[in-house]
Amino acid sequence: MKVLITVGATEEPIDPIRYITNASSGKMGKAVAEEALKRNHSVTIIAAIIKVTLPRNKNVKIYRVRTANEMIIKTMDELSNRYDILISTAAIADYTPIYSEKKIKSGNKGLTIKLKPNPKLTRMARERFKKLYVVAFKAEYNTSLLELVRSAYMKLRDENLDLVVGNDVKKNGMGSDENEVCIVNKRGEYVLISRDYKERIAERIWDIIEEEFGNYSKD
């Protein structure tokens, strides 16, 4: 299959020298990409800011971006090349600062930064590419399993996605070598994958994707 995977954390500039970002390392996305290659899928990676070395072989293409806007534009453009699956592991900023062309002066008693919401990549991909199988990741913080499943399913339902992988980043902090996730499908069913190394989590994720995609292709 032809698979596009987004990886890493976006950086959103505030002024020419400052930006906001998040703690995503790209480790989960890398593991998902490496597992896809082991299964002989053709892989394209669109990577933002990462703290890992991405896989390189004849079956992988890699593009680099920085901001949420760049990630969205590049991903949507690349998806026009007829992909089967999009797996969005990247931690794409929900908001972007209103950019200041000049450096904001220090020494003020306080600073207010205005933010504007970013479009949701997975929603845009689903709306434009009707036959694309879309897998999203949904991060929550300090939540129960029930709340995590509910949150993942709400994202799946609201954006008409195919699978959503939910994880609580308080239990398994961004940048960790391990993770614990729940995977929710369109039927409202979920699978809990207990804490394990991200490489093994990626194996289980791909087992479920391939099983669900087989059923999806028959529909």
Active site residues: 22
Q: Taking the C-alpha atoms of 206, 48, 59 and 215 in order, what is their torsion angle to the nearest 10 degrees?
A: 30
d(C-alpha 19, C-alpha 14), whole Å = 5
How many whole angstroms separate alpha carbon 176 and alpha carbon 190?
23
CA gap 135, 213 in Å, rounded: 11
User: Which residue do the tokens 């969205």 mark?
Assistant: 72
The string over 184-219, giving b where at least 16 C-beta atoms fall within 10 Å of a residue's C-beta and e elsewhere, is: bbbeeebeebeebebbebbbbbbebbeebbeebeee
Residue 34 CA, chain-centre distance (Å), reads 15
